[in-house]
Amino acid sequence: MTCYGLYKVSVKTTDQVELVNYLSKALDLDVWSHAIPGHDGQVLVPKDKKPLFQNELKAAGVEFQIESDNIKEFEETFYRIFAPLSDLLLTMSDCCPHKIRQYYDSD
């Protein structure tokens, strides 16, 4: 299984935007949100492409931060914590329309 890192990328110029877009296409990366000046982007990078991606960003002066070095581990932790809440919300949403309908039908 490939390990993916989630990168937050901060660009200041259109040249940097073009570089990030080029790297994303050339390395077949998953762009979660595009970086533009004043708005950070997020890019998912497989482990084997991390060194090249980081070196290219550094060489161009593009600031980046690794938000998660292993997004799968983060995802599993997230679901372990929030899955019970999700089940509760689904249960509540199932019962709410019925209760609302009962309230209006009783008038």
Residue range 4-24: average pLDDT? Answer: 97
Structure pTM?
Answer: 0.69
Q: What percent of the chain has pLDDT over 70?
A: 72
Whether 77 and 96 share a structural domain: yes
- Host domain of residue 102: 71-107
Task: Name the helix (H) or strand (E) containing 8.
Answer: strand 4-10
User: How many domains, in total, are found in the chain?
Assistant: 2
Is a pLDDT exceeding 80 seen at residue 54?
Answer: yes
Same structural domain for residues 44 and 81?
Answer: no
Same domain, yes or no: 12 and 22: yes
Quick one: pLDDT band at residue 10, thresholds 50, 70, 90?
very high
Distances (CA, A) of 66 to 10, 54, 77: 12, 10, 17
CA distance 75 to 63: 25
pLDDT in tens, 59-102: 999 999 999 888 777 667 766 777 777 666 666 555 555 544 44
Residues 35 and 62 in one domain: yes
* Strand, coil or helix: 7: strand
H-helix or E-strand spanning residue 18? helix 14-26
Answer for the pair 20, 54: CB distance below 8 angstroms, yes or no: no
